[in-house]
Amino acid sequence: MLLWIMLALAVYLASLFAPSLFLVARIGVGGYIGPRDSLPDPIAMHGRALRALRNMKESLFLFLPLAAISFLSPESDHQQALMGAQIFVIARLLYLPSYILGLPWVRSAIWTVGFVGIVMIGLSLM
């Protein structure tokens, strides 16, 4: 389980860096390392990357405590929790590019699969 928690954090880091890459591509390294007092409005893909990051933060708010409690609890169904964590991480790994590319039905389906992974972890604690 600990591996999947760490992988979820790695996916979070990827989500964190994605908007920065779009901004650097738009304003250049010199503009990025400056104070960034007046930034241009985000282009579509940059805006999607920002929203994907916000969504990842919201998902981690649920995933991390449940995964940690499941990892530490001797009474949880560890197999179900592990499968839920794997489903969540793989779904979130696929969610970022699907959101940035603007694939609405695919993105929503992937988000749903990831949420099912969180629910599985929660149910493993009952």
Tens digits of per-residue pLDDT, 7-28? 999 999 999 999 999 999 999 8
Percent of the chain with pLDDT over 70: 100
Name the 3-class secondary structure at 89: helix
- Which pLDDT tens digit goes with each residue over 37-62? 888 888 999 999 999 999 999 999 99
How far is it, in rounded angstroms, from Cα 110 to Cα 93? Answer: 9
Per-residue confidence (pLDDT) for residue 36, from 0 to 100: 83
User: What's the pLDDT score for residue 111?
Assistant: 98
**Burial of residue 90, with CB atoms counted within 10 A of its CB: 0-12 exposed, 13-18 middle, 19 or more buried:** middle
Give me the residue label for tokens 């990842």: 56
What are the start-end ranges of the H helices in the chain? 2-33, 44-72, 78-100, 104-124
Q: Which amino acid is at 24?
A: V
Q: Provide mean pLDDT across the span 90-102.
A: 97
Q: Write down the mean pLDDT value for the chain.
A: 95
For range 55-75, the mean pLDDT = 96
Asked whether 90 and 110 are in contact (CB, 8 A), the reply is no
